[in-house]
């Protein structure tokens, strides 16, 4: 058993608590990882807020991490101690019908136990002050050591800087893949991105890579516009600058609507606006943001009858074990930006400050 520091969420709506935890050794087909770097994501704060229907407490959050394999359980063949890895919140077992289908990346092998905050055998590897602590998204990267299933880990280039490539564990990969894999953005097309956080910026990067000719960034926070343009946005607008609904503004700006739109916030009203900003006949709108428990999307069916398509994406459609190492290689070859997403680097014990910076849009 390893004793180490972790940021524990004892209950919903409270700041994370810096604690000493015990991390049990990996069982069969499990891997124990020394986490070197972790990013914070809105999904972590969504669960911490209490809005997540699958949220269990007490829990160690975090799902954008990178580290070094410390030890492996029986039967683990794909990684060994010393390997550099990224934990994966969407695993890839290679055996279930989802993994065998090229149309999806949603491996279901350990979905049920992962959703309950447990390892595949139905137990936890974390304890603190004598209490069992739940896992989060199969990763729990807000701990100096974590244990994951062997199908939830990608071995990556040992030379990659872990304080950067940890972002490929969620946000950057998600946005980039939403454009390339889910929407399949076409050269010369017009795209609109709602929400210019890390995921929205990654969508912009994907649209640019795909050859879109017009990339419109939309956010209430105009401080984000300069960064969006660095990533490839051709123009940025704020809904507050207009008296009419943003979808009407976009229809006028683009002669009938955009070819592709992306909702990167998790707001059901904005999801509707993003769909209705699409061009009749062929417009595609992708939902990337995660809405709160119990919320529903709505639009008039005529929007779809007249040729628009509404889609969603999880982890950008990437089959994780296969593609995360390739994304790391693309970053190392300077084909994709990652460094530019990092605004602050803080010591682990300042994790609550990181959440405050995220909520402040900084």
**Strand partners of residue 126:** 23, 133
- The per-residue pLDDT for range 90-129, each reduced to its tens digit, is 999 999 999 999 999 999 999 999 999 999 999 999 999 9
Architecture per CATH, domain 2-169+319-353, reads as: Alpha-Beta Complex (3.90)
Please give the pLDDT value at position 361: 83
- 3-state secondary structure labels for all residues of 269-337: HHHHHHHHCECCCCCEEEECCCCCCCCCCCCCHHHHHCCCEEEECCHHHCCHHHHHHHHHHHHHCCCCC
- The per-residue pLDDT for range 309-362, each reduced to its tens digit, is 999 999 999 999 999 999 999 999 999 999 999 999 999 999 999 999 998 888
- pLDDT at residue 51 greater than cutoff 90: no
Record: fold of 172-314: Rossmann fold (3.40.50)
- pLDDT at residue 89 greater than cutoff 90: yes
Please give the pLDDT value at position 331: 98
Please give the pLDDT value at position 292: 83
Domains 2-169+319-353 and 172-314 share a fold: no
pLDDT band at 3 (very low <50, low <70, confident <90, very high): very high
The full set of domain ranges for the chain reads 2-169+319-353, 172-314
Q: What percent of the chain has pLDDT over 90?
A: 95
User: Around Cβ 356, how many Cβ atoms within 10 Å?
Assistant: 11
Please give the pLDDT value at position 184: 98
Q: What share of the chain is helix, strand, coil (3-state, %, to 5)?
A: 35, 25, 45
Please give the pLDDT value at position 293: 82
């Amino acid at each position: 058993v390893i004793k180490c520091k972790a940021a524990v969420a004892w209950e919903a709506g409270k700041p994370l608590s810096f604690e000493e935890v015990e991390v049990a050794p990996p069982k069969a087909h499990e891997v124990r990882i020394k986490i070197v770097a972790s990013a914070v994501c809105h999904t972590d704060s969504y669960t911490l807020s209490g809005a997540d229907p699958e949220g269990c407490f007490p829990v160690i959050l975090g799902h954008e991490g990178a580290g070094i394999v410390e030890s492996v359980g029986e039967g683990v063949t794909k990684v060994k101690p010393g390997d550099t890895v990224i934990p994966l919140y969407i695993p890839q077992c290679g055996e279930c019908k989802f993994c065998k289908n090229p149309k999806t990346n949603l491996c279901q092998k350990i979905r049920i136990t992962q959703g309950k905050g447990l390892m595949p055998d139905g137990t936890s590897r974390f304890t603190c002050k004598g209490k069992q602590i739940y896992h989060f998204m199969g990763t729990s990267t807000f701990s100096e050591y974590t244990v994951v299933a062997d199908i939830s880990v990608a071995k990556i280039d040992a030379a990659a800087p872990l304080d950067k490539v940890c972002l490929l564990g969620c946000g950057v990969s998600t946005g980039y893949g939403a454009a390339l894999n889910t929407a399949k953005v076409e050269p010369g097309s017009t795209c609109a991105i709602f929400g210019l956080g890390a995921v929205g910026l990654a969508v912009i990067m994907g649209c640019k890579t795909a050859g879109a000719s017009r990339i419109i960034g939309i956010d209430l926070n105009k401080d984000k516009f300069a960064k969006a343009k660095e990533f490839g946005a051709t123009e940025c607008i704020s809904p507050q600058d207009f008296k009419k609904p943003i979808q009407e503004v976009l229809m006028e700006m683009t002669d009938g609507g955009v070819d592709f739109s992306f909702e990167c916030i998790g707001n059901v009203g904005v999801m509707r606006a993003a769909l209705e900003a699409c061009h009749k006949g062929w417009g595609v709108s992708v939902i990337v943001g995660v809405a709160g428990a119990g919320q529903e999307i709505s639009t008039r069916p005529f929007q779809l009858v007249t040729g628009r398509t509404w889609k969603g994406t999880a982890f950008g459609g990437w089959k994780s074990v296969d593609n995360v190492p390739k994304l790391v290689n693309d970053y190392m070859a300077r084909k994709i930006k990652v460094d530019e997403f990092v605004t602050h680097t803080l010591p682990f014990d300042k994790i609550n400050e990181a959440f405050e910076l995220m909520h402040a849009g900084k």
